[in-house]
Amino acid sequence: MVMVDFNADIVSFISLGNVHLGDSIDLYLEDIFNNYTVEIKEYALPAPSSEIRYVYSVQNGTLIITTTTDDIIVSVGCNENYAGKYKDKLYAGITMAELSQRSKALRILNGTLIVDQDYGLSFTLPPPYDEIADSLEQIPHNLSLNEIYVCDHSGWINQ
């Protein structure tokens, strides 16, 4: 049994909360169901793919694990209750001003922020900024960025 860890480092393209991309969710189920509240939701990706995904929200979103229908983990996210950090400097709950100061370059793509050309990690922009922000200037400096996701967005590089 693998144990999740709400203090573990956030590692781009690899893991968050000691949960690794590419693993089967089965490795983590005993731990999360025995030790935390878990809510599971199903959703479909937008057309044309329309693939089904499952989201395991652990401890009210402290950890958010997304899997394919064959139980493979494709993304792991967290909210501001998560204590681990990315490169000892970025964390869920950081303000836009802090993020700007601690990074060299930010890019808005598909309702998320990509930091320093690292397409294995993203900060989710909260509503309404996920829909309306086309430039960094449109995002308030005091806005808290409460969700981070580790995944593989390398397909977005040339967007």
Q: Which residues contact 5 (CB under 8 A, 6 or more apart)?
A: 17, 18, 84
Query: pLDDT tens-digit profile of 83-102?
Result: 999 999 999 999 999 999 99
pLDDT of residue 111: 86
- Preceding peptide of 128 cis, ω within 30°: yes
Around Cβ 100, how many Cβ atoms within 10 Å? 17
pLDDT at 66 over 80: yes
Identify the pLDDT of residue 159: 66
Measured in whole angstroms, the distance separating CA 65 from the mean position of its chain's CA atoms is 9
Counts of helices then strands in the chain (DSSP H, E):
3, 12
Tokens in use for 76? 């792991």
Residue 49: predicted pLDDT: 79
Q: Using one digit for the tens of pLDDT, what is the confidence trace for 16-41?
A: 999 999 999 999 999 999 999 999 99
pLDDT of 156 strictly over 90 = no
Question: Model confidence over 103-116: pLDDT tens digits?
Answer: 999 999 888 999 99
Q: What is the pLDDT, as a whole number, of residue 129?
A: 86
